[in-house]
């Protein structure tokens, strides 16, 4: 029997803020994001927002290749 006593399942939500819009993020790696609904957007700056339960933090990133509507993978780099 598996016990969940003392276990906690965190509620995690990530999103990419770009040009006043918010795109849900499915997965984050060290230099990329997988976004739920990609659209065409030129290279530029954006912000990643990470919410875990009631705690939220955000940081600026650079999108060196922009966003392509044909790919859910978005390259990110440290904001300039």
* Residue 1: predicted pLDDT: 45
pLDDT tens-place values along the chain, 80 residues long: 454 566 778 899 999 999 999 999 999 999 999 999 999 999 999 999 999 999 999 999 999 999 999 999 999 999 87
In sequence order, what are the beta bridge partners of 49?
15, 58
- Cα gap 7→31, rounded to integer Å: 31
Q: What residue segments make up the domains of the chain, in order of their start?
A: 12-78
- Report yes or no: 33 and 27 within 8 Å, Cβ to Cβ: yes
- For Cα atoms 72, 15, 77, give the angle at the middle one, nearest 5 degrees: 70
- Cα gap 25→51, rounded to integer Å: 11
Which residue shows structure tokens 């700056």? 45
* Residue 5: predicted pLDDT: 60
């Amino acid at each position: 029997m598996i016990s969940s006593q003392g276990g906690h399942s965190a509620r995690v939500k990530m999103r990419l803020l770009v040009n006043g819009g918010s795109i849900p993020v499915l997965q984050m790696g060290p230099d990329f994001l997988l976004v739920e609904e990609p659209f065409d957007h030129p290279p530029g700056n954006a912000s990643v927002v990470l919410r875990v339960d009631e705690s939220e933090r955000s940081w600026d990133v650079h999108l060196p290749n922009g966003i392509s509507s044909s790919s859910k993978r978005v390259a990110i780099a440290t904001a300039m």
